[in-house]
Amino acid sequence: MFLPDILITAYSEGFSGIYVQCPNPDEVSKEFLSAFDTAYRQAMEDLEEEMGVMVSEKYDDLPCPAKIKTVEDSQFLIRIAPLFLNLNDGARADNDYLLHALINVLDGLQEKFTNVSYYGLIAYEWFDEHCGDVVSVEIKSTNCMLENPSYPFVKDIFDEIFADEELSEEFWELLEDNLFDCTEEDIRAVMECFTEYDQPEEVFDKFQNIVDNYDFDD
């Protein structure tokens, strides 16, 4: 299930996660982290070489944007920070080097290990000094048979946001800001998303109150 753009842009960390199903999740998750860390650093080198600019994350020594969130008997969850790279000299940040690197690493796991499949959602906002946009893509391995999957980690992210007063306040402020060009369909999509991910009644009431008091004609 895709998330509406006005929800994605209301949370700076995005809503990205991947479920990897395999018989040996401890081993495979460690291999993923090692391989993606290498791919992350190589992507920065490749981007610098191709565009002739510096990648800020490289020189700020920022950590790899992927973390293993949970490991279960036959599955682990990867949470992914926004996958855009900041460039100096005013260069555009709308590049897909890291997304391609991520998919290549996941496909590499299938080659190295047996009975590995994956599916996930990559959803975040990128921006630079010129403009910005939303990335929202579903990815899955060729042997994943799921159709229109739901992503339980999205509920976890909502729960984390609404359990933190500062995060929650920022989320609602940004969501209200995003209403200026939204449609009735967008509003319904937000409500459907809150329903899909089992949010409490007060979340629906809060959003409805924001919508009811928003001046769409301003």
Whether 104 maps to a domain, the answer reads yes
Token readout for 82 is: 């926004």
The arithmetic mean of pLDDT across residues 160-187, rounded, is: 93
Whether 179 maps to a domain, the answer reads yes
Q: Which residues, 6 or more positions from 122, have their beta carbon under 8 angstroms from its beta carbon? A: 14, 16, 80, 83, 99, 102, 135, 136, 137, 138, 139
> Strand order of the sheet with strand 17-21?
66-71, 75-80, 17-21, 117-127, 132-140
Confidence of residue 5 (pLDDT cuts 50, 70, 90): very high
Residue where the block lists tokens 């994943």: 144
- Is 70 exceeded by the pLDDT of residue 128? no
Predicted TM-score (pTM) of the model is 0.90
DSSP string, 72-121: -SSEEEEEE------BSTT------HHHHHHHHHHHHHHHHSSS-EEEEE
Q: Can you point out the beta strands (E) in the chain?
A: 17-21, 66-71, 75-80, 117-127, 132-140
Whether 217 maps to a domain, the answer reads no
Whether 88 maps to a domain, the answer reads yes
The arithmetic mean of pLDDT across residues 110-137, rounded, is: 86
pLDDT, residue 47, reads 79
- Is 60 exceeded by the pLDDT of residue 110? yes
Closest C-alpha among 82, 92, 81 to residue 47? 92
Strand, coil or helix: 62: coil
The arithmetic mean of pLDDT across residues 123-127, rounded, is: 85
pLDDT tens across 76-90, in order?
Answer: 999 999 887 777 665
pLDDT tens across 187-196, in order?
Answer: 999 999 999 9
pLDDT, residue 123, reads 95
pLDDT tens across 130-154, in order?
Answer: 666 789 999 999 999 888 899 999 9
> Which of these ranges, 14-18, 70-74, 88-92, 97-101, has the smallest mean pLDDT?
88-92
Percent pLDDT > 70 in the chain is 89
Whether 161 maps to a domain, the answer reads yes
Number of domains in the chain: 1
pLDDT, residue 113, reads 93
For residue 113, the enclosing domain spans: 5-212
pLDDT tens across 11-36, in order?
Answer: 999 999 999 999 999 999 999 999 99
- In angstroms, the CA 59 to CA 192 distance is 41
How many Cβ atoms sit within 10 Å of the Cβ of residue 78? 23
Whether 94 maps to a domain, the answer reads yes
pLDDT, residue 92, reads 56
Whether 218 maps to a domain, the answer reads no
pLDDT, residue 72, reads 87
Whether 129 maps to a domain, the answer reads yes
Strand, coil or helix: 124: strand
